Amino acid sequence: MLSLGRWIWILGALLLAAPRLTAAPSAEDRALADAEKSFHDMVWDRAEAEFATFAQTYTNSPYLAHAILFQGEARFWQTNYPGAIALLTANQKAAGSLADEYQFWIAEALFHKGDFQLAADAFAALARDYPNSARRLRAVVD
């Protein structure tokens, strides 16, 4: 007969050897991951389209503000500054904890578009309205 210690050891070994059971990623998680991969691979047109599809499909997602921010950034990197400004401005009230990032990319797009006074005002608003933002120093300098 096996002692209690050996049973515990055998049970532990079996648990370690057993494959881990994890939930498969949801369609929402896969769509977001695919869009993020396109973004990080700098395939801006595909990233923009995938984030747009995500935003249209998962309107109640907790990642919606994140997806819209990255869609706006993808537009920025394609030099579609008016499109980035329009998208981020239209969704800024729902940005939540990403509001400072929305403000930053609006200001950056205004600057690159050549609207220097509006860009300066937008950077100043970021520094004033979001004192804890990681973008604050850059906004003050810009």
For the question of whether the overall pTM of this predicted structure is more than 0.85, the answer is no
| Residue 16 is assigned to a structural domain of this protein | no
How many Å apart are CA 40 and CA 97, to the nearest integer?
A: 22
Whether residue 102 is contained in a domain is answered as yes
What region, left, alpha or beta, does residue 95 occupy, with left being phi > 0 and alpha being psi -120 to 50 degrees? alpha
Give residue 32's domain range.
26-141
- Asked if residue 14 belongs to a domain, the reply is no
- The verdict on residue 77 lying in a domain is yes
- Look at residue 64 and tell me if it is in a domain: yes
In a domain, 114, yes or no: yes
On whether the CB atoms of residues 96 and 70 are closer than 8 A, the answer is no
What is the total count of domains within the chain?
A: 1
Identify the CATH number of the domain in which residue 129 sits. 1.25.40.10
Does residue 109 sit in helix, strand or coil? helix
- pLDDT tens, the chain, 142 aa long: 556 656 566 655 555 665 554 566 899 999 999 999 999 999 999 999 999 999 999 999 999 999 999 999 999 999 999 999 999 999 999 999 999 999 999 999 999 999 999 999 999 999 999 999 999 878 777 6
Please report which residue ranges of 18-80 form alpha helices under DSSP H. Answer: 27-40, 44-57, 64-77
